[in-house]
Structure 1
Amino acid sequence: MQQRPLGRSGLAVSRLALGTMTWGRDTDADDAAAQLKSYLDAGGNLVDTADVYGDGDAEAVIGSLLGGLVPREDLLIATKAGVRPGNGRRRDCSRGHLLRSLDASLRRLGTDYVDLFQVHGYDPATPLEETMSALDHAVTSGRVRYVGLSNYSGWQTARAAVWQAAYPGRAPVVATQMEYSLLERGVEREVLPACEALGLGLLPWSPLGRGVLTGKYRNGRPADSRAVSPHFAAFVESYLDPRSSSIVEAVVTAAGGLGVSPLEVALAWIRDQPGVVAPILGARTVGQLLGALQAEYLELPAEITLALDDVSAIGYAYPERDD
């Protein structure tokens, strides 16, 4: 699998990443091991997780596979913190919470460092400088190699990256993780321009439009799909609309012409968008993952890329477009 630099950093990552949101809940340890082995065999090296995935179970599953299935030094681990499960304060990016969460993640992962530590969302109740100083401490203490953001708006992304770049010795922000797919292109308005200007690599989550771009929902909702899952039904529902359906039909048509699957077309499109480093594959089963990994070998013809650009285009107006 080809590799790309993660933003303006020396870290090279495979151009498809492995997500673990379902691990420890919908994906058991055996299936997770099979996924990780298949991913590594394909040349992948970046596994993304978070402290709230399965209430920590996803990290624990990864930790159980380190050393046996894969040497720690052969795997790049990215995790996130800053979201509190349950009711009450949803975001907590205070210094205390971030560092406590990091220590708990390291225990579950069974390692003394993570390669990428990402703030899971913007917290308006905590001063930005406090959040970023926690990331600096995580790096200088040796517990984190690189830092990033997730689900920050354009101005929030720019403010955090500029703050870190303003003083020598602060840990630079090298990446941000955002939802991005043919069904959700909102990051193109402000987040992607900020990333390109400030040297951040983009890691798209849900690059298959929460599974809708596979085409599985064209004729209903399969009994084993996320759309009927108690955990993810609402997550998928917003993309079961007429606009999404027209985009899915375009993807299916392109896939038929190329003799590949719709998910390969959708992944190849997002993988090659400007600023994108590695879409995160969130497969529930090893079979789904193997299908997604085939996208590594697909290069979309320019005319198909342009057609998909057109059918999924989003609007621009002042101030993003001032003409």
Structure 2
Amino acid sequence: MHVRRLGSSGLQVSRLALGTMSWGAAVDEYAAEEQLRLFLDSGGTLLDTAPIYGDGACERVIGALLDKHGVRDEVVLAGKAGVVRRDGRVVTDGSLRSLLRQLDQSLADLGTDHLDLWQVHRFDESVPVDETMAALDQAMRSGKVRYAGISNFTGWQTVAAQHAFARLGGGVPLVSTQVEYSLVRREPEIEVIPAAQHAGLSILAWSPLGRGVLTGKYRGGVPTDSRAADARWEAFVAPHLTPSKARVVDALAAAAEGLGVPISHVALAWLRDQPLVASAIVGARTTAQLQESLGSELVELPSEIVAALSDVSEGVR
């Protein structure tokens, strides 16, 4: 699998990353083990996680698998902090105390002494950005974190974070920002991606298949085993099940048919090669789904198809 650098740093990551949001919940430890092995055997390196994932069980699953197979040094382990569950509610907490406490817990659960990349999961408007960035700086200076990044920040928040982090004088700037980005979610191009370019950050794209819509599974309706049919996930998928976004999927299907590849391959290949995108984070409930996504690594889109898909998806809401 091809690798790319994050920002201007020396850190290289695979251009497809393995997302683990469902590990420990919808994806049990046995399926997770299959997915990790398949991902590593395919040349993947970037493993993205967070302490909130899998209802809090995800990182313990990852830690057990890394230890069982002795593959910690084969992965670029990317963690997060800043989203916590308190009194049955999920809240954002970007305070230095909370971030560093989450980091220590993540390291214990993952069974490692450091994270290769540590990201602030969400911007916390109630905490000064200087304090949040100080947590990243302290973590890097302590050796518990090698590189730092942000996640789900707006354009102005991205620039503010990079400037605040640079003022701390650690020498290595923020390297990445993680954002939802796909053919049916191009809003980041308005301000987040220009801000990332200004700040020298690479993009890590989450939900590159449009919350499952860009696999084409919803073209004939809502499958009973899909997220859109699950009351817990219906609201998550619904924003991408609109007539205008359905036309984007139809265009994808036409391109895929002409190329003789799955629809998802075309969607991932388009996103993967957008400016600043270092890696597309693919998650899967089954090993077969992951295998299909990884197959996109072999697809190179003709420039005419890239242009046509960009045109049909531009401004779609």
Q: TM-score scaled to structure 1, two decimals?
A: 0.95
Q: Specify the alignment match of 2:240 in structure 1.
A: 239
Q: Specify the alignment match of 2:259 in structure 1.
A: 258
What whole-Å deviation, never above 9, does each CA across 1:95-144 have from its counterpart, x for those lacking one? 00000111111111111111111001110100111101111111111111
Q: Specify the alignment match of 1:287 in structure 2.
A: 288
Q: What is the number of equivalent residue pairs in this alignment?
A: 315
Structure with greater helix share of residues: 2
Tell me, in whole angstroms, the C-alpha distance in 2 between the residues paired with 1:250 and 1:215: 11
Q: Would you say the 8 A contact 2:158–2:199 is kept in 1?
A: no
Q: Specify the alignment match of 2:94 in structure 1.
A: 93
Q: Specify the alignment match of 1:6 in structure 2.
A: 6
- Aligned residue runs from structure 1 range 93-172, under 5 A: 93-169=94-170, 171-172=172-173
Q: Specify the alignment match of 2:50 in structure 1.
A: 50
Q: Would you say the 8 A contact 2:222–2:229 is kept in 1?
A: yes
TM superposition shift of 1:230: 3.6
Q: What code does the residue aligned with 1:286 have?
A: T
Q: Would you say the 8 A contact 2:60–2:110 is kept in 1?
A: yes
Tell me, in whole angstroms, the C-alpha distance in 2 between the residues paired with 1:118 and 1:105: 12
Q: What code does the residue aligned with 2:267 have?
A: A
Q: Would you say the 8 A contact 1:52–1:85 is kept in 2?
A: yes
TM superposition shift of 1:90: 2.0
Which deviates further from its counterpart, 275-284 or 80-89? Answer: 80-89
Q: Would you say the 8 A contact 2:67–2:111 is kept in 1?
A: no
What whole-Å deviation, never above 9, does each CA across 1:147-177 have from its counterpart, x for those lacking one? 1000000000011112222353265210000
Moved runs in structure 1, 4+ residues, more than 4 A? 86-89
Q: Would you say the 8 A contact 1:136–1:170 is kept in 2?
A: no
Q: How much is the aligned-residue C-alpha RMSD, in angstroms?
A: 1.3
TM superposition shift of 1:197: 2.0
TM superposition shift of 1:226: 1.1
Q: Any idea what SS the aligned residue of 1:183 has? A: coil
Q: What code does the residue aligned with 2:281 have?
A: I
Tell me, in whole angstroms, the C-alpha distance in 2 between the residues paired with 1:206 and 1:65: 24
- Aligned residue runs from structure 1 range 272-311, under 5 A: 272-311=273-312
Q: TM-score scaled to structure 2, two decimals?
A: 0.96
Tell me, in whole angstroms, the C-alpha distance in 2 between the residues paired with 1:89 and 1:45: 29
TM superposition shift of 1:242: 0.6
Tell me, in whole angstroms, the C-alpha distance in 1 between the residues paired with 2:95 and 2:108: 20
